Amino acid sequence: MTRRYEGKVAFITGAARGQGRAEAVRFAQEGANIIAIDACAEFASTAYAGATEADLAETVRLVEETGAKIAASKVDVRDFDALSAALAAGIEQFGRLDVVVANAGICSAALSWEITAEQWQETVDVNLTGVFHTAKAAVPHLIAQGEGGAMVFTSSVGGLKGIPFTGHYVATKHAITGLAKTMANELGAHRIRVNTVHPAGVASGMQPNDIGPLLEEYASTLAPIFMNSLPDYIIEPEEIAATVAWLCSDDAAKVTGAQIPIDMGNLNR
């Protein structure tokens, strides 16, 4: 494997499992030291189990196995002060910051007009405000360092089209796409690139089981929205990580403000 991140440092949110873990391991394999946070918590609105401290410890083990170093802590992206402190401590430990992956997110399902106030608020707080917090904490460090940098926000195919039964989720994923495009404009002069990735179904802990009955009920009209061009229905987290590692590297030095689908062709339908 090429080592495009030798001597560099990557900050990844939601790194206890799934895509965040795969990204931590991938950047580490390519030479980076890792600053990782995860809430390691259950969420009131989700119908799947939350990540645990044991999951985050496993990420630490996997990163260290590559020979890289990792500063991992149990921090919720909704807590700006704790996130900022964890990031600052990691930068203090490793000496710099090059890459930011705002990956932490949650998902639940309901018809848009039946989403509860609590479900709406939790999703917005984690998926939108959490990404804003991540960028707000990281950007001053990147600007002060004066060597550019790369930020990726993990959106979704639902950041570019209307995925039924996830209106609150889709609203946040569109919102962070707009935030990334705006920040790409503002930060271009500093050679800080900001892009979004748009995965379709990923084999991770995020299994919104509450969507099943709705899918069955509306299958005759809405099933094509979930179909892909490729004869695949699921993406491995490592495949997402490979694209994110490309997007943050000098191989993508002229890519900013872009929306990169990793979706088996779902957005092509």
Ligand X SMILES: NC(=O)c1ccc[n+]([C@@H]2O[C@H](COP(=O)([O-])OP(=O)(O)OC[C@H]3O[C@@H](n4cnc5c(N)ncnc54)[C@H](O)[C@@H]3O)[C@@H](O)[C@H]2O)c1
The catalytic residue positions are: 169
Tracing tokens 């009131």 back to the chain, one arrives at 44
Q: Are 47 and 122 in contact (CB under 8 A)?
A: no
- Residue numbers at the binding site for ligand X (CB under 6 A): 13-14, 16-20, 37-40, 50-51, 76-78, 103-107, 126, 130, 154, 156, 199, 201-202, 204-206
List strands edge to edge, sheet with 9-13.
Answer: 70-74, 33-38, 9-13, 99-102, 149-154, 192-199, 259-262
- Based on CB atoms, which residue is closest to ligand X, 207 or 220? 207
Q: Give the closest residue to 215 by CA, choosing from 111, 68, 122, 129.
A: 111
User: Taking the complex as a whole, how short is the minimal distance between the CB of residue 187 and ligand X, in angstroms?
Assistant: 21
User: Taking the complex as a whole, how short is the minimal distance between the CB of residue 110 and ligand X, in angstroms?
Assistant: 16
- Based on CB atoms, which residue is closest to ligand X, 30 or 38? 38
Under 8 Å CB-to-CB from 117, ≥6 apart: which residues? none
- Based on CB atoms, which residue is closest to ligand X, 25 or 106? 106
Length of the chain in residues, anyone? 269
Under 8 Å CB-to-CB from 116, ≥6 apart: which residues? 45, 110
- Based on CB atoms, which residue is closest to ligand X, 103 or 254? 103
**Tokens representing residue 106 in the block:** 């949650």
User: Taking the complex as a whole, how short is the minimal distance between the CB of residue 175 and ligand X, in angstroms?
Assistant: 12
- Based on CB atoms, which residue is closest to ligand X, 149 or 199? 199
> From the centroid of its chain, how far is CA 201?
14
Can you tell me the distance from the alpha carbon of 72 to that of 219, in angstroms, rounded to the nearest whole number?
A: 42
Q: Between the CA of residue 263 and those of 97, 201, 218, 229, what are the distances in Å? A: 29, 8, 22, 9
**Tokens representing residue 140 in the block:** 């001053």
User: Taking the complex as a whole, how short is the minimal distance between the CB of residue 159 and ligand X, in angstroms?
Assistant: 8
User: Taking the complex as a whole, how short is the minimal distance between the CB of residue 91 and ligand X, in angstroms?
Assistant: 18
> From the centroid of its chain, how far is CA 94?
22
The conformation of residue 51, written as its DSSP 8-state character, comes to P
